[in-house]
Amino acid sequence: MRIRRALLFMPGDSRRKIEKGAGLGVDSIIMDLEDAIAFNNKEIARHSVAEALREVAFGRSEKLVRINQVIPGWLYAADIMATVDAKPDGYVLPKVEETAQVQRVSELLALAEDNHNWQRGSLKILAIIETAKGIVNLPEIANSDPRLEALIFGAEDLAGDIGAVRTPESWEVFYARSAVVLHAKAAGLQAIDTVFIDLNAPEDALIAETQLALTMGYTGKLAIHPKQVAPMQAVFTPRLPEIEAAQRLIHAHHVHQAAGTGVFEYEGKMIDMPMIRAAMTIIARAKACGVLD
């Protein structure tokens, strides 16, 4: 599964912004056909995204398309049909509330893969959980389809759905924010945190919120402005002292295992397998980010 530390939204009807995003070195670019696009501009945006997928050099950045909500008779099928031939890396599904939504998109992508002789499952799905019903149905959604790779938490829409008042501390969505991580990890999926909407806040505030997401177990975060990308990706990239400490701990674990010792004392702490697994996670993240061979 590819690394997704920052996922940058760009409006699908702006070729200029898509090209700018492609030059940032961001892990993933989400070309938006949903909230960022006026209803009467949807067809233009689809055409713009398809052209960008064919013509823009995205480098190492993942190419994702956010479609409109998957509900009968709505715009999502047209979004997919207009863009899938240009072969994005995957699709982001908004307001996912039940397994059938993920499975219906997966069926459409399978047809496209067969028509183009692409490998089955090569087109990925990321699901945004941003309604009360989506939170309640997390266990089923997280295990709905093999091409699902990540659950994304959407705090703003969730707050509106349940009538909550958004606060800087975000306690009003804390249960849901935690639930998305737990169910994502239980299903072997990535967990992507919600947007940071205050573009006038100091960078320290963005870094603090991103650090909180990392502490909670999130593997990445949504970005809505290019200036958010570098701080986010830096937070989700293990630093050298952290990597070296993890390596030393894992080495000590191997030494004690070879001597027949399970739990052992190390630097004033009692060490058991949960701490070793945490150290291994740091090493895995470092390798995925390309800072460790």
Rounded distance between C-alpha atoms, residue 54 and residue 231, angstroms? 29
Rounded distance between C-alpha atoms, residue 46 and residue 76, angstroms? 11
Q: Is 272 annotated as catalytic?
A: yes
How does DSSP classify residue 228?
A: G
Rounded distance between C-alpha atoms, residue 238 and residue 14, angstroms? 34
Catalytic residue among 114, 145, 272, 293: 272
CB-based contacts of 110, cutoff 8 Å, min separation 6: 120
Q: Do residues 121 and 146 touch, judged by C-beta distance below 8 A?
A: yes
Which residue in the block uniquely carries the two structure tokens 């002789």? 117
* Amino acid (one-letter) located at 203: E
Residue 48 forms beta bridges with which residues?
none
Active site residue ranges? 272
